[in-house]
């Protein structure tokens, strides 16, 4: 074999190389100490050659070596640039899509938006707060001191830093009075958390909408009128409501507002919304003079309202993750 044949063989071998590792092996095979180039040199009997022949063979030999080195360097660059082999793409991005699959608004949130809309039309603003609040905001500012039995009514998730996951949206009352001042018309929708056993009507995470109206000369009549207006517009009918006495330390007097429904034989009263006139101690904690101002507050169970509105029999469906349930509401967007 001469240098020209060696180069042809090298070109053939190089064409089959597809990794840097194989290239290194090729370099050793051709340029290494016992490589093919050195073997070729050993095979040549320089003693039998004329000086001119010796020069020509030597030049050929050097040219072959330089050619191999240059080809190897170019191959290294090419392999490094191309990186690891690319997996074949399993989808064709130029194909048309599978149809519109936009998300839908969750039925609790769509009910919340409706409630917000009704209240905004009555001059209320929407005030959102935090889900983790201080013990003061959740209890003390609402006239529930540490040893008060009312604390036991709401089994609370305590955080390690002493904060609590708010057990009711009433936790925003103090902040709203201090931030917005009086006269005040505001609602605070949001999630609440209680360490409760889950059943058909109770979840550990649920939504409420709190509302406050504070001004001079606010009475129970305002409370009834605002609540009835809300329910009439949400259910799009003339609703019958009634008030029963109810106890909450942050209202005086306190009520349970019931809604007349067609549920059951002949219909029945459904407990819907605790409410009442804001306790003077709560107004004072919020920096409001109870001799000058009065107001009402309510805590609507938003999750319960969504259940009544849509005829949903089990609260656990809301967070159950069953797409068949959610898809029913996609059309109501
Ligand atoms: C309260 O939370 C008071 N903060 C409401 C209030 C506000 C009274 C302002 C007076 C003035 P209660 O614990 O009853 O009250 O909860 C109010 C509503 O939240 C209930 O009627 C119910 O609809 C809803 N609710 C309470 N606990 C749960 C639960 N575990 N799962 C789902 N909904 C709940």
Residue predicted with more confidence, 279 or 154 = 279
Q: Is the CB of 279 under 6 A from ligand 1?
A: no
**Window from 94-108, 163-177, 180-194 with minimum mean pLDDT:** 94-108
The CA-based angle 148-138-187, given to 5 degrees, is 130
Q: Strand 125-126 vs strand 184-193: parallel, antiparallel, or unpaired?
A: parallel
Average pLDDT rounded to a whole number, residues 157-181: 96
Q: What percent of the chain has pLDDT over 70?
A: 95
Average pLDDT rounded to a whole number, residues 57-70: 86
User: 243-265 burial, b for 16+ CB within 10 Å, e for fewer?
Assistant: beebebbbbeebbbbbbeeeeee
Q: How far is the CA of 210 from the centre of ligand 1 (A)?
A: 10
- CA-nearest residue for atom 18, ligand 1, is 301
What integer pLDDT is reported at residue 86 of this predicted model? 60
The size of the chain, in residues, is 333
Q: How far is the CA of 282 from the centre of ligand 1 (A)?
A: 18
Residue predicted with more confidence, 19 or 227 = 227
What integer pLDDT is reported at residue 332 of this predicted model? 45
Arithmetic mean of pLDDT over the chain = 89
Pinpoint the alpha helices (H) of the chain: 3-15, 20-31, 36-43, 51-82, 107-121, 135-138, 173-180, 220-235, 280-285, 302-310, 323-327
Express each pLDDT in 226-259 by its tens digit.
999 999 999 899 999 999 999 999 999 999 999 8
Q: Is the CB of 295 under 6 A from ligand 1?
A: no
Other beta carbons within 10 Å of 234 = 18
Sign of the alpha-carbon dihedral angle for 180, 185, 188, 194: positive
- CA-nearest residue for atom 20, ligand 1, is 301
Q: How far is the CA of 290 from the centre of ligand 1 (A)?
A: 25
Q: Is the CB of 203 under 6 A from ligand 1?
A: yes
pLDDT of residue 43 exceeding 60: yes
Q: What CA–CA distance (Å, rounded) separates 171 from 175?
A: 8
Q: How far is the CA of 71 from the centre of ligand 1 (A)?
A: 80
pLDDT of residue 130 exceeding 70: yes
Q: Is the CB of 258 under 6 A from ligand 1?
A: no
pLDDT of residue 63 exceeding 60: yes
Q: How far is the CA of 74 from the centre of ligand 1 (A)?
A: 76
Q: What percent of the chain has pLDDT over 90?
A: 55
Average pLDDT rounded to a whole number, residues 275-282: 98
Pinpoint the alpha helices (H) of 163-216: 173-180
What integer pLDDT is reported at residue 178 of this predicted model? 97
**Window from 80-89, 121-130, 131-140, 293-302 with minimum mean pLDDT:** 80-89
What integer pLDDT is reported at residue 102 of this predicted model? 67
Closest ligand 1 atom to 194 CA: 30
Closest ligand 1 atom to 298 CA: 9
The CA-based angle 24-28-29, given to 5 degrees, is 115
Q: How many CA within 13 A on the CB side of residue 5?
A: 4
What integer pLDDT is reported at residue 83 of this predicted model? 67
Cβ-contact 101, 327 below 8 angstroms:
no
Q: Is the CB of 173 under 6 A from ligand 1?
A: no
Name the token pair of 229: 């207006």
**Window from 134-143, 154-163, 207-216 with minimum mean pLDDT:** 154-163
Sign of the alpha-carbon dihedral angle for 151, 152, 154, 158: positive
Name the token pair of 131: 């889900």
What integer pLDDT is reported at residue 78 of this predicted model? 83
Q: How far is the CA of 41 from the centre of ligand 1 (A)?
A: 96
Q: Is the CB of 168 under 6 A from ligand 1?
A: yes
Place of tokens 């707060």: 129
- CA-nearest residue for atom 31, ligand 1, is 202
Q: Is the CB of 276 under 6 A from ligand 1?
A: yes
What distance, in Å, lies between the first and last C-alpha atoms of the chain? 82
What integer pLDDT is reported at residue 50 of this predicted model? 85
pLDDT of residue 333 exceeding 60: no
Express each pLDDT in 77-121 by its tens digit.
888 877 665 666 677 778 777 666 667 789 999 999 999 999 999
Burial of 51: CB neighbours in 10 Å, binned 0-12, 13-18, 19+? exposed
Q: Is the CB of 256 under 6 A from ligand 1?
A: no
Q: How far is the CA of 206 from the centre of ligand 1 (A)?
A: 9
What integer pLDDT is reported at residue 100 of this predicted model? 65
């Amino acid at each position: 074999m001469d240098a020209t044949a060696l180069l042809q063989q090298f070109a053939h071998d190089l064409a089959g190389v597809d990794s840097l590792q194989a290239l290194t092996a090729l370099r050793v095979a051709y340029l290494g100490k016992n490589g093919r180039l050195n073997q070729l040199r050993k095979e040549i009997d320089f003693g039998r050659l004329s000086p001119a022949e010796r020069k020509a063979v030597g030049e050929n030999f050097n040219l072959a070596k330089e050619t191999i080195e240059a080809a190897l360097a170019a191959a290294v660059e090419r392999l490094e640039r191309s990186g690891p082999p690319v997996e074949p793409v399993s989808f064709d991005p130029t194909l048309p899509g599978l149809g519109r699959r936009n998300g839908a608004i969750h039925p609790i949130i769509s009910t919340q938006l409706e409630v917000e809309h009704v209240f905004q039309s009555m001059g209320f603003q929407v005030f959102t707060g935090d889900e983790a609040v201080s013990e003061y905001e959740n209890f003390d500012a609402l006239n529930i001191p540490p040893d008060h039995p009312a604390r036991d009514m709401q089994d609370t998730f305590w955080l390690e830093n002493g904060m609590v996951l708010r057990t009711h949206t009433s936790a925003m009352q103090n902040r709203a009075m201090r931030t917005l001042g009086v006269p005040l018309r505001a609602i605070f929708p949001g999630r609440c958390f209680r360490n409760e056993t889950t059943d058909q009507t109770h979840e550990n995470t649920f939504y409420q909408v709190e509302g406050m109206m504070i001004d001079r000369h606010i009475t129970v009549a305002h409370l009834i009128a605002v609540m009835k207006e809300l329910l009439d517009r949400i259910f799009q009918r003339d609703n019958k409501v009634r008030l029963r006495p109810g106890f909450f330390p942050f209202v005086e007097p306190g009520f349970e507002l019931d809604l007349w429904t067609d549920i059951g034989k002949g219909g029945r009263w459904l407990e819907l919304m605790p409410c009442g006139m804001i306790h003077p101690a709560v107004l004072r904690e919020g920096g409001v003079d109870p001799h000058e101002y009065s107001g009402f507050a309510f805590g609507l169970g938003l999750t319960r309202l969504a259940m009544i509105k849509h005829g949903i029999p089990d609260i656990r469906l809301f967070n159950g993750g069953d797409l068949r349930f959610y898809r029913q509401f996609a059309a109501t967007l």
